[in-house]
Amino acid sequence: MSASVIIFYCIAAFILLTGIAAVTSRKIFRSAIALLFSLTGIAGLYFWMDVNFIAAVQIIVYVGGIVVLIIFSIFLTQKSGEEMPKPLVSRVLFSLLAVLSGLGLIYRLISEYGFNNISKQPFNVEVSEIGTQMLSTTEHGYVLPFEAVSMLLLAAMIGCIVIALKASPNPSKGEA
C-alpha cells in the first residue's frame, strides 16, 4: 500500500467520522461545526486528486460561505445551547438498518463495476482553461448552463425579497 493510498484512507475516515458526528450530535451547533470539518475533509480529497482550483472553490463556497450561513441561521432561530430530545430507539435502529443496506448496495455495485475501463487520459485543470470553457460556445463550452444559472439566481433573489418583505405591515413605495 503506497503512501498516497494511506493518505486517501485517512482523509476518507476523517470525512466519514466528522459526518457521523454531524448527524448524531444532539447539540445543533456542534453538528454545524462537525459539518464544517467534514466539508474541509472533502476539500482535502480534492487536493489529494491534484485539482487545486476545485479544492479552493470547495473551501470558499462550502466552508466559507454555506457553513457560515448555517451557523448564522442557527443563532438567529434556535436556542443553540439546548440539547435536542433523544431519538427513539426504533428510529435509530431503522436508520442504522437503512444506512447499512445502502452501504452494502453501493459497495457491491461499485466493486462489481470496478471502474477499470475508464480511460486514464490526463485532463487540463488550469484555472484559465476552466474559465475559457465556462464561457465558450464551442465544443465542451458551458455558456448556456452559465446563463441559465444567472436566470435562476435572479429569480431566487426576487423570490427572497418578496417573501422577506412579508413582515412589514405597511409596505413603503419602491420596495423591489
Partner 1 sequence: MLNDFLILMKQELVITIIIFILLFIKIGSKDWKNESLLKLINVLLLLNVVFSFIGNQEGVLFNEMFRTNDLISLEKGILSLGTLIISLSSYSWLQNHKHVAEFYMLLLSTLLGMFLMISGGHLIMFYLGLELSTIPLAAIANFDLDKRKSSEAAFKLIISSAFSSGLLLFGISLVYGTTGTLLFSELAQTLTGTPIQIFAFILLFAGFAFKISVVPFHLWTADVYEGAPVAVTSYLSVISKGAVLFVFVSVLYGAFKPLATTWYNMLFILSVLTIIVGNLFAIRQNNLKRFLAFSSIAQVGFILIGVSGSSQTGTASVIYFILVYIFSNLAAFGVISFISAVTGKETIDDYKALYKTNPFLSWVITIALFSLAGVPPTAGFFGKYFLLMAGTGIAGSKGLIIWIIIAALNLVISFYYYLRVVKAIFMDANETPIQKLSVPFLPKLAMIICVAGIVLTGLFSFIYEYIFSLSNGF
* Of the candidate residues 98, 100, 103, 105, the single one contacting partner 1 (CB under 8 A): 105
Grid coordinates representing 150 are 444567472
Alpha helices (H) along 25-142? 28-48, 52-57, 67-77, 89-113, 127-134
Note whether 149 binds partner 1 by CB under 8 A: yes
Stretch that binds partner 1, among 61-69, 91-99, 125-133, 168-176 (CB under 8 A): 168-176
Note whether 158 binds partner 1 by CB under 8 A: yes
Q: How far is the CB of 6 from partner 1 (least distance, A)?
A: 24
Q: How far apart are CA 81 and CA 96, in angstroms?
A: 27
Q: How far apart are CA 21 and CA 19, in angstroms?
A: 5
Q: How far is the CB of 46 from partner 1 (least distance, A)?
A: 15
DSSP three-state, residue 27: strand
Q: How far apart are CA 149 and CA 153, in angstroms?
A: 6
Tell me the site size for partner 1, rule CB under 8 A. 35
Neighbours of 19 (CB within 10 A): 17
Q: At what angle do helices 3-24 and 28-48 cross, to 10 degrees?
A: 160
Q: How far is CA 14 from the centre of its chain?
A: 15
Q: How far is the CB of 136 from partner 1 (least distance, A)?
A: 9
Note whether 172 binds partner 1 by CB under 8 A: no
Note whether 156 binds partner 1 by CB under 8 A: yes
Angle in degrees, CA 105, 46, 12, rounded to 5: 45
The residue (of 68 and 162) whose beta carbon lies closer to partner 1 is 162
Q: How far is the CB of 139 from partner 1 (least distance, A)?
A: 5
Contacting partner 1 within 107-146 (CB under 8 A):
109-110, 112-113, 115, 118-119, 137-145
State the residues that interact with partner 1 by CB under 8 A.
105, 109-110, 112-113, 115, 118-119, 137-145, 148-149, 151-152, 154-156, 158-163, 166, 171, 173-174, 176
